[in-house]
Amino acid sequence: MHSRDQTIFALSSGRPPSAIAIVRVSGPQAGQAVMTLAGKLPAPRQASRRLLHDGAGQPIDDAVVLWFPGPGTATGEDVAEFHVHGGRAVLAALLAAISIIPNTRAAEPGEFTRRAFESGKLDLTEAEGLDDLIHADTDRQRRQALRQLQGLLGDRARDWRERIIEASALIEAGIDFSDEGDVPAELRAPAVKAIKSLHAEITKVLAAQGHSERLRDGMVVAIAGEPNVGKSTLMNQLARREVAIVSPHAGTTRDVIEVQLDLDGYPVTVIDTAGIRETDDPVEQEGVRRARARAEDADLVLWLVEGEGAANPDAMRSGDLPGGPIWVVRNKIDLGGASAGPSGEFQISASRGDGIPALVEALVGFAADFFGTTEGALVTRARQRDLLSRASESLRQSLELVEEGEELAAEELRAAAYALGRLLGRVDVEDVLGAIFQKFCIGK
């Protein structure tokens, strides 16, 4: 039996226990599920209060039932929703009652959204936007994901693809009428003009994105330095809670500690690393090795120095990788003896909080430059950038080849249209669908 012939169900609200839980059913047996549990179908798209019963006639819960006949639903299929009390026992009984209905099964991760995609309710860029919206931790991530869900990139890609197909039709018509004298030249001119315009638009989009794709994953800031200079205390200050153990003994931090922060809407991962020094302790040696590796991969390093101590961030470098920028942060100014450091250095007291607001403000500014302008960003994933780059390159090559022969130019235009079709998920994307939808939560 094809998976689309099966009816799927899942908890589509938060983890129990909760005040209310929503169980969603989608597929040809959705109506049968409502009649089996609630007695009869309610009016379409109208909430109806019903006492649900299992297959043995035993009551499950006093619930609200909604019935959405397809194809005008989120998945394009018949859909039912049961709004019940969110206790674990209630949900277990309800899911068990649905599961015994013939041709029903529990949904896999992302299967509701995949069915919506396969029904043409949304394209692949919108599905990716929905996934990003579900996993958004900051307001900037939320806004970017919502724009994708609303078709910001998909609408543009559909327009580009239609215009490529129109230009391709002109080029191929020139091939068909090659024996008609001036006809090919007359058709070629508007096609070339259209291709140049398309290439310029897509190239501009690719050039303007900056680090917008990184907004999904966030920026990484590493706190590094020698032992006992206050790295864990600074970590706790930035997190505004105790996430790292603070001790006067050197070598307390043996492994990398991470915390996710929201800095003015920018997602930032701050990592506290082991103090970098020469040691005979094999466990601490491993901590130092990991600290160097993570700091070299970080987008920014805060190199902590105690008071007027010598700043030697090069001690962090263990290989040829240059790593991200390094900011020198002089800690423990409350103990005295720390004069104003060189321009670009920060003076703080991690224990008292002195200088922390200025450091946070600088971090926000760095994040703004790092992520670039994301409000109008079209590209949010590496997959999208790769396919747009392929389309742009094919358009460029078609312009170079059009004078040599319409056949070669037409082939490049077909390649450009194909790349945009893959971007939207409308041609030959089976290999990427599983990778995208398996990351969704079950019930979405």
285-318: pLDDT as tens digits: 565 666 666 667 788 888 888 877 666 655 555 4
Contact by Cβ (8 Å): 295, 224: yes
Q: How far is it, in rounded angstroms, from Cα 21 to Cα 86?
A: 5
Q: Which residues pair with 21 in a beta bridge?
A: 84
- Residue 99, pLDDT score: 93
Contact by Cβ (8 Å): 192, 399: yes
- Residue 337, pLDDT score: 47
- Residue at 42: amino acid letter: P
- Residue 343, pLDDT score: 47
Low-confidence ranges of the chain (pLDDT < 70): 1-3, 174-186, 208-213, 242-256, 274-295, 309-323, 335-344, 373-377, 427-440, 442
Output the six-digit token pair for 349.
Answer: 């007291």
- Select from 197, 194, 184 the least CA-distant residue to 405: 184
- Residue 345, pLDDT score: 82
- Residue 171, pLDDT score: 80
Q: pTM to 2 decimals?
A: 0.70
Contact by Cβ (8 Å): 253, 275: yes
What number of other Cβ atoms are within 10 A of residue 243's Cβ? 15
- Residue 44, pLDDT score: 94
- Residue at 157: amino acid letter: A
